[in-house]
Every structure is written in C-alpha cells, then in structure tokens.
Amino acid sequence: MKVIRSFFKNLFLMLVSLISIFPFYWMVVGMTNDSKDITMGKLTFGSSLVANISNAFEKADLWRAFFNSAVLAIAITLLSLLFCSVAGYAFVVFRGKGKEILFMVLIASMMVPFATKLIPMFRMFSNMGLLNSFWAIILPAVGAPFLIFFFRQNTEAFPRETIEAARVDGCGEYQIFARIYAPMMKSTYAAAGIFAFMASWNNYMWPLIALQSNAKFTMPLAVANLAADFNPDYGMIMVGIVMSTIPTVIVFFCLQKAFVEGMVGSVK
C-alpha cells in the first residue's frame, strides 16, 4: 500500500512539473521556429533561431531595452531594500503614539488599485519635470507598502534582547541596524529582493505611461511593441519573451534557499 501511494504521489508530482515547465519549453521551441510553424502548434525545434534573434534585435533594439530594465531593476531593488528595511525596523523597534495608525494607513494603501493612481502620478511627475526619465519609475517603487509590511512582520521575530544588549555596549542605532540587524535578516532581505526585482523587471503599466522615448523602453515595452504589429512575427516575440524571462529565473534560483527561509520569517 505504501509503495502504491508513493508511486501515485511521484506520478502526480511529475505531471505537475511537466505542466509547469511546458510554457517555458514552448517559448524556447518557438524562438527556433518561424511564425507559421508557431501558429500551427509545432512543438519541435526548428532552424529559424538565428533569423529570429537577428530580426528581433534589429527591429526592437532588445539590448538597449534589456540594459534599461537591468538598470531600473537593480536600482529599485537596492533602494527598496534600504528604505523598506529601515521603515520595517522602525515600526517595530521605536515607540510612538501614531505608529499603529500610520501602519494601518500603509496597509490600506495596498488595497487601492494602481489604475486609480495613474492620473495623479502622471500629473505629479509632469509638474516635477521627471516624465520620460528613469526617476519617474524608481521613485514610486522604492517605498513599496508590501515590502515595508514584509520587513515589519519579519522584524517582529527579531530578538529584542540583542538590540538592548548592543545599546548597553554603546552601539548607536545606525550601528545596530548595519552590523547586527541587517546581517541577521539576510534571508528576509533575499526574499524581499526577489519580490522587488521581479516587480520592477515585469512592470509594464507605469513605464508605458511615464516613458515616452523608445530609447528608454524596458523589456516588457519592447516585447509589447513586437506584438503590436498588424502581422506579428511570433518567432521574434518568443525571442523577446525568453530574454525577458531568463533574469528572473536566474535571480530566483540563485536565492531560492534564502527566499524560502525569508518567507517563513527565519532570522539567522
């Protein structure tokens, strides 16, 4: 009975794995075929890979879009980790009468649909003269309410005795944060970094509104341009999609262990 149960369990896991992997396999196969073969559902590798890559880079300038996305994703990730971790730390460690009210306002802001904020954000950045610049993408993202909430919840599990002991030893708050808190919360930083990187890399709506120059387009915008033709070349589109997917896959698998530890609130 135990052997049969194990067999069906492994069979189920294999089927789920195949279903999960199939879309990526289809993208990789699609980038080697021409548009006609893709629309016909061909699932074997073709001979159009070089032509598709050449056409995609000539038409959409994917290298520039990839570089723009990388700059934005790295900048947003680093700044988000800095500001959101400081905010999450402050919500737990420091006392204040309005702290809980401010936190509830922060939580409530997560429930506001992003579409309702598009026009106010557009007008604000237009008045600031920051439209069509990377700052218009970076500034709204560095104080993400979810990441502040995430750091705050994980900081609740941080041993307060360690902070008190450091204060007794004469450490200032900046020293405690940089030398004690941050190293012990590295798993939380890794999990939050994955969230911030993926959100920035896949961001489409706001860059579409804020970036008005093709030279500053990110990967999602460049791929969307490939698909916007009257007669789209699906081979080129698959090249762009695979190129957009690879960085997030690499980041996730490199930080997978730390991500799992951070999600369960691990403090080391």
Residues 83, 88: Cα–Cα separation, whole Å: 9
pLDDT at position 59? 75
Question: Model confidence at 213, in pLDDT bands (50, 70, 90)?
Answer: confident
Percent of the chain with pLDDT over 70: 96
Cα(1)–Cα(44) distance, rounded to whole angstroms?
39
pLDDT above 70: residue 263:
no
* pLDDT score for 55: 83
Q: What is the dihedral of CA 140, 146, 148, 151, to 10 degrees?
A: -140
The DSSP 8-state label assigned to residue 33 in this structure reads S
Segment 2-19, tens digit of pLDDT? 778 887 888 888 999 888
Crossing angle for the helix pair 186-201 and 145-155, nearest 10 degrees?
Answer: 170
pLDDT at 266 over 70: no
C-alpha torsion 97→100→78→115, nearest 10: -130
- What is the Cα gyration radius of the chain? 23
pLDDT of residue 236: 86
20-73 pLDDT, tens digit per residue, is 888 888 888 988 888 888 888 888 888 888 888 888 887 778 889 999 999 999
Q: Give long-range contacts, CB 8 A cutoff, 24+ apart: 100-104.
A: 103/152
Instruction: List pLDDT tens digits, range 170-208.
Output: 888 888 888 888 888 888 898 899 899 999 999 999 999
Which tens digits make up the pLDDT trace of 237-247? 888 888 888 88
Q: So what's the pLDDT on residue 80?
A: 94
| Amino acid sitting at position 197 | F
- What pLDDT does residue 49 have? 87
- Round to whole Å and give the CA distance between 38 and 74: 34
Q: Give the pLDDT band of residue 259 (cuts 50, 70, 90).
A: low
pTM to 2 decimal places: 0.85
**Average pLDDT value for residue range 126-148:** 90
| pLDDT of res. 267 | 47
Q: CA 40 to CA 35: how far, in whole Å?
A: 9
Over residues 60-74, the pLDDT tens digits come to 788 899 999 999 999
**Which pLDDT score is estimated for 136?**
92
pLDDT in tens, 59-109: 778 889 999 999 999 999 999 999 999 999 988 888 777 788 888 888 888
Name residue, tokens 């990187």: 197
